[in-house]
Structure formats: C-alpha cells, structure tokens
A and B are shown apart, each in its own frame.
Chain A
C-alpha cells in the first residue's frame, strides 16, 4: 500500500531543493510572491476558512446520515461519528502542515505527487477528482430529498420519489451557475454557515435537554450497542465518513488564505471538532426521540421528523430549510473543489492542458467545471446514496493515508524548499496514526464500495502509464 517503498533509489530529493525533473514555470515556485506576472491576493480569513470546512461537511452528517446510521448502529452511531472525527483529526494536522508548505490548488494531490511520485499522485489526483464527483452526487441526492420534503410539507403528493430527479435538476443548475455566475458569493456562504450552525446549536441544545429529561418527556430507551456489536459501530464509522470530507477542502484554497500558518491548522482542526460535536449530539438527540428502526425508515430526512417530535411544525420547517442550505452548500463546495482538482492535475500535465483553460468571457474554468459537473449529474441519477457516499470516502481515505505518508517522507528527506509555517506536533507519530487509521477504515467499507474505489484508482494509474508516464513530480518543488 505504501508506494514510497517502491520509489526510485536514486533519491530525487536533493539538498538544495532544486527540481530534478521538468522545469516548472516560475509561477509555481511560490504562490503568493510576485513573479513578474502578478501577485495573488489572499482574501479568505479564519471565518471564511472555517465556513468552507464546516459548510462542506455539515450537510452530510446532520442532514443525510442520522437515520441511515442509526439503522445500522443504533445509539452507538454517536460513537461511529466520534471515531470518524478522530480519524479526521489525525489527518487534519499533517494536512495543515503540508498545506502551509505547499499552499496551492489541489491539496492532497500536490503533497502526494511531490512526496511519492507521479504514479501515486495520479491515483490521488484523478481519484480525488472522481471522489469529489461521488461526494457531490451524494450531497445532491440529499439535497433532492430535502427539496422533496418541502413538497411533502406543502401537501403535494407525488407518485414517484422526487429525491433523485430533483437532485439531478439541482446538479444541472449548480453546474450552470458555477460556469456563468461571476458574482462572488463568499459572504453569502459564510452567512449561511453561521446561520446553520446557529439553528443546529439551538435545536440540539433543546433536544439534548429534553432527551436528558429536563422537560419531563419520556425518551425511547434502547440498548446502546447494536446487535452487530463493535464491528457494526466501526463499519458505520466507515459508512458515515463522508461527513468528514470537508476539512481537506480548506487545503485546496490554501493559496487564498490570510496568515496560513495560523489560519489553516485552526480552520482544519476547528471545523472537524465543530461538526464532530454536532454529529455526536445529533445522533444522541435523534435516537432519544425515536427507535433506530423508526429513524432508519425515515431515511435521509430523519432529522426533520426528530425536529417535529421535539418542536412541532416550526422545528420541522427550520430543519428542512437548514437541510436545503446545508446540502446545497456541500454540493456546491464539492463541485468547485472537483474543478480545482482538474486544474491541479492539468497544470502538472497529467491530463491535457485544455482542461484548465479559463473562459475569456466569464473568467471561469469552464472545461474543468464541465468535467466535474457532467459526471456528478450522471452519478446523481443512479440515486445509490450509500454506494456514492462510501466510494467517495474510500477515495478520500486513500488520499488521506497517502498524505500522512507524504508528511513522513518530507520530514525525513527535508528538501530545501520544504518550509512549513505550521509544524504538526509529534508529526511522524500523528501522521503514522493517521495513515493507519485511514487505510484501516477503508477495510470496513462494503465490498462493492471498495471494488468501485479500487477500479477508479486502477483506471487512474492506467491513465498515468498511458498518458503521463514521462511526467516526474517526485521531489519537485511545489
């Protein structure tokens, strides 16, 4: 599993950090310095970075998974979410260090390709592009479910399940907006995330107090551990890990972040801790309101029923609105990240340069957005929520694991240009734990998900051998 062992024994890292491979254009040597072709403005502060992380993650964990997770692991699904948070934290710290050393679009792909070579980089880069495609499709089905719930609340009855067609429609609209929309929506996005966290905190606080009997309501007593025992809990942790895929998205905009040495680690760790806390409490509240089987039957929109049970119709409406916003922002963030991945691999020559062209009229990377948007819509149409989520997780976890290995390699080889402004405490140990946990968690996925994920990675490697075997990125200054 560890490609560094099969790496070139001539050690492509040299002491001065001068690239041994192809010369990269000057623009890539240091992102925010003026290289004669202009400076790059850093416009994302701590709040903005946290909003990207929380906004990408919270859609899944609160608004899609509680019902599905409770059906598998019962009240112990809380524990599954806590395990996920632990794995995410072990990866977040090394990722933060690497992001401050290589603040570029592409995040994990950049670190892995520079540390472990082009082959591993291609698997991660192309794999992650598709990983984000799977994740977006998953969020879109969730979004469709909430939009369908709106119809239900309005009393519209449909003969077909509206989630998938609505998800497809949203996918088309979001892709079109990202192609032609030039309004900057960062402020709106930040406000939405703050509003979401506000609604959730209020609701979950009320729900927790009620569940603990403060208001004298009876709760649904249930065995904490599911019949499947610990195994089911860990399998559920793997299943719901899609809820934690957002923190690494902060790394993909590292070049735009103000004071990255402080902002990146705070935002990555902070967003994981924030959403992890919300998830654990949400499961506790949900499983206190209903039995696991009942929750499972509610499916993706179980939280709406939970809110209805606690607060009545206003609660249900608040959660439907919050769910729409959350899944929308998750889907949107993933489409944009997907397009940045396409740019990153195209910049390095792993796919044709055309893919990163910017549309002259709109200033948007139309080819890359299309390469993200079209497969997303196609996958959304399959409507296989569980499979989509797990494949996304498999592909991300492989990247996370390799990112941790990359950190260990950089720490050991110390190329001259490797100068992170944040250093992960106990770096090698944390990264080692992160790698083991990431690769380990893959093992608890459904066989079908592992198979699809593996097929994607093999295809990515095959593409590299066929198209880009002459590209050498190992040890390259990033």
Chain B
C-alpha cells in the first residue's frame, strides 16, 4: 500500500482532512490506506467560543494541539502519504475549512470515518457539472488499486431516463479515459425523491462514498449538508468533491 508501482493517471489529488484537535483526537482507522495516493492537507482546527480570544486559546492550548496534530500527521506519513499540516484556532470552523480548501486548491474534503478496507467506491453524481473533478478524484485515488467503482445517479421523476443514463455513461467514459479499468465500473440509475437517503442506502454496500458539495440554502441550514447527512447514516468515509474556487 505504501509504494505505487506506476504513477497514477492523474497527479495526486489534494485532499483536505479536517480534524477537531480538541481533546483526544484520532484519525479513524483505515484513513491512511484510503488516502495512499493523495496529497493530504491535514487541518487541525480548534473551535472556541466567542468569549475566548483566539490568541488566548492558542497561548494555552497551542502546544498540546500542535503535538496532537503532529502525532496524527505521523500516522499518515508512516503509511507513505504526503502530508502538510495546518493548525488553526477559530471561532467558526466552517470559515477556516473553506479558507484552507481555497489556499491549497483542494479537490475534495474527507469526512473521516473508519474504513476496514477499500474494495469498492460509490461515486454519486448529480449531473455532468462536476464531471472533470469527480472523475479526477476517483481515478487519482483508486485507478491503480483495482478498486471497484459504482457510478450512481438518483434521478427525480422529472428527469427522463435516457438523460439520466447519459449522465452515468458519460461519467463511466471519463473514468476509463483516466485509467480506471472498464471491468471495474458499474452504473446504477434509480428514481428517488430523497437523494440523501438513497445515496446512504447505496453506500451500505460500499466502503467509500464520493459525492459533490452542495450550495448552502435554507434546506441545508435546517437539515444539514447532504454530505454530512450521508456520512452520518453511512458511518463510513465520505469524500466531498469541491467546486473550483474562483481565482482572485
């Protein structure tokens, strides 16, 4: 798992792994193996209440937090993963995560959960908008590992079946172009009016879920981000593919 015989078809995708370093932080088991082909940005964040100045928290908690983060980073470097660590004291973890994604141009964020082995991956796609980045991630991480990939698209009642099939076949073709074995790919289209539940259900037969990020809206504020909800139900690792950030 530590050495790759050939370089992957795509350059190593950059993956952000945010970890709350408050208390006894651990990387869920299997994370290093999952990210063997990635460049990892390990973000240790410490979210503190507004009453506390960030400098005050760093003064008291900076050293132990940095030690924790270094320990977590070592478990990844020991497994041969390229790791860069950042430690941030923040009043708003989401702001911090967003900034680091932007600064490191991360392709995806890992919602870490334990994973015993990585044999099959569920790639849930909503359409062709994120095609490039979705397939770059899956191929970059898994193409040379003989991992099975299920391309899944839950269509709503309004979407014609042919169109939905087109989405998955197009995705399949892109994966093959990027070096994934055609035999390793399976495609699934189903009708659903509850995409999150449907993805979580599909995920039950898979080791890892790859899905796109969602724009914040009233629904996401009330129910939470779809990726978080999938991770919660699935209890396994979810890679959330990020949209490209605008150039500044």
Contacts and interface: CB of A to CB of B under 8 A. Distances in A.
A184 B55 CA distance: 17
B142 interface: no
A6 to B, nearest CB: 31
B66 A186 contact: no
A364 B51 contact: yes
B176 interface: no
Interface in A170-196: 178, 181-186
A-B pairs with lowest CB-CB distance, top 9:
A37-B62, A41-B90, A38-B87, A40-B54, A105-B53, A182-B49, A43-B92, A41-B96, A39-B88
Contact of A27 (B51, B59, B88, B95): B59
A180 to B, nearest CB: 10
Contacts of A365: 51-52, 56
Contact of A41 (B56, B66, B99): B99
Interface string B51-92: 111111111111101100000000000000000001111111
Interface residues of A, number: 37
Interface of B: 22, 44, 46, 48-63, 65-66, 86-92, 95-96, 99
B41 to A, nearest CB: 13
Contacts of A182: 49
A358 B58 contact: no
A46 interface: no
A256 interface: yes
A184 B48 CA distance: 9
A178 B86 contact: no
Query: Taking each of B22, B88, B91, B99, which has the highest tally of chain A beta carbons within 10 Å of its own beta carbon?
Result: B91
B49 A181 contact: yes
Contacts of A253: 53
Given A39-B86, A184-B91, A31 B55 contact: yes
Interface of A: 25, 27-28, 31, 34, 36-41, 43, 104-105, 178, 181-186, 253, 255-256, 336, 339-340, 343, 347, 356-358, 362-365, 369
Contacts of A104: 55
Contacts of A362: 49
Nearest to A40: B54
Contact of A43 (B55, B57, B66, B90): B90
Query: Taking each of B22, B56, B58, B95, which has the highest tally of chain A beta carbons within 10 Å of its own beta carbon?
Result: B56
A13 B54 CA distance: 28
B59 to A, nearest CB: 5
A357 B60 contact: yes
Nearest to B69: A38
Contacts of A105: 53, 55-56
